Amino acid sequence: MSNESLFERAQKVIPGGVNSPVRAFRAVGGTPRFISRAHGPYIFDAEGKRYVDYIGSWGPMILGHGHPAVLEAVQKAAVDGFSFGAPTEREIELAEEILKLVPSMDMVRLVSSGTEAAMSALRLARGATGRNKIVKFEGCYHGHADSLLVKAGSGLATFGNPTSAGVPAEVVQHTLVLEYNNLDQLEEAFKLHAKDTACVVIEPIAGNMNFVRAALPFMKRLRELCTQHGSLLVFDEVMTGFRVGLRSAQGLYAKDLPGFEPDMSVFGKVIGGGMPLAAFGAKRAVMEKLAPLGPVYQAGTLSGNPVATACGLATLREIQKPGFFEALSERTRSLVSGLLGAAKEAGVPMVGDSEGGMFGFFFADTLAQNYGQVMATDKERFNRFFHGMLDAGVYFAPALYEAGFVSSAHTADDIAATVESARNVLR
């Protein structure tokens, strides 16, 4: 089998040959790699070629692939049963573990995907506040629910327009899209729409326009405005949760803004350890508005299934071991600094940033602060770099709009080999 033959076969039975669009390599060109197996920091394609994996299933594989403790937990759970459609003790254990690490929440509801968690959180925010409008930011991705597939209107007095066919304009009429890190727009939006705004949803470190942080003054003012006007601040930590630090991104902001916390949080990826699992949570008064206690309906047959909870619980316990995040952060920083150093040697403008096990880089002179600036970076140079690195056995995200991920399984030798490959490609 070859990647090409598999892609040809896939395109006959799956739209675009893939089950999630970014996998199609449309942004970078070429043929997707069909992965047959993985181990530690490596993935292997259908042709047997090995790649150093900096996608990590888009974030969940913080321990690398096939971690012994996780495998053992999953195998034992699978023997006991895949799914029961009834409560299990492990659901409670996972919820307790998450809540122990995220003090902004009193209760969580487990679901099966980040899209499902974000969609449910926004419905709950509307139900809890009795308001309809939501505010999001351009370049932040919160799943493919209809009300979130939206681009900015012509001004702050006009709400968004659908970015996908099949989404009626009426569905997104209550969604306002602002520029990330733009304080003036934020102030104006609340001046115009505060009394109708149920929530503001944000990726505190955006991972779907590469790696872009919400600036501290911006986040501080966002928290103040939400508090002042009774709108709920929703942190989408599907990517950043337990990936940028043990207390997630909200823990990082709390260090600089004493007492800071969001009103609601959405988690995925790491809490499932690679299995389909996500969650959303808030204080008890908000969460008790969910069915069966309250009027906001949400349900799911596979929510909190026993195999996924076993995988997630084992992962969360491993990342709490002493020194885990210190070592992971250092390894990630060494990768980014190595890439930037190689670019500087080659006379190629490149900037980058990282936090915990999450990183990003741009072919530009300054770090992007919003989606418009990301779009202005050198896309063609990124595409050439991507393919050069892929040929060298290094698998970065196949689009400049995606963040990258390092696992605890990546060794110093893996990082050094990656940097050396980058040095050759950048030349």
Q: What is the DSSP string of 381-415?
A: HHHHHHHHHHHTTEE--SSTTB-EE--TT--HHHH
In single-letter form, the type of residue at position 146 comes to: D
Residue 246 and residue 319 in contact, taking contact as beta carbons nearer than 8 Å: yes
Catalytic residue among 236, 263, 353, 414: 236
| Helix (H/G/I), strand (E/B), else coil: 425 | helix
Q: What is the pLDDT of residue 254?
A: 98
Q: What is the pLDDT of residue 77?
A: 98
Distance of CA 412 to the CA centre of its chain: 25
Catalytic residue among 136, 253, 263, 269: 269
- Report the distance separating Cα 265 and Cα 279, nearest Å: 8
Per DSSP, 160 falls in state -
State the burial class of residue 381 (Cβ atoms within 10 Å of its Cβ: 0-12, 13-18, 19+). middle
Q: What is the pLDDT of residue 153?
A: 62
List domains and CATH numbers for the chain. 3-66+322-426 (3.90.1150.10), 68-319 (3.40.640.10)
Nearest to 273 by CA among 64, 36, 34, 44: 64
Verify whether residue 395 is a known catalytic residue. Answer: no
Q: Indicate the helix (H) or strand (E) that contains 265.
A: strand 264-267
Residue 394 and residue 54 in contact, taking contact as beta carbons nearer than 8 Å: yes
In this structure, the number of other CB atoms found within 10 A of the CB of residue 285 comes to 10
Q: What is the pLDDT of residue 162?
A: 86
Verify whether residue 141 is a known catalytic residue. Answer: yes
Verify whether residue 184 is a known catalytic residue. Answer: no
Catalytic residue among 42, 51, 54, 141: 141
pLDDT along the chain (427 residues), means of 10: 97 96 94 98 98 98 98 98 96 98 98 97 98 96 91 64 88 93 97 97 96 98 98 98 98 97 98 98 98 97 96 98 98 98 98 98 97 96 98 96 97 98 97
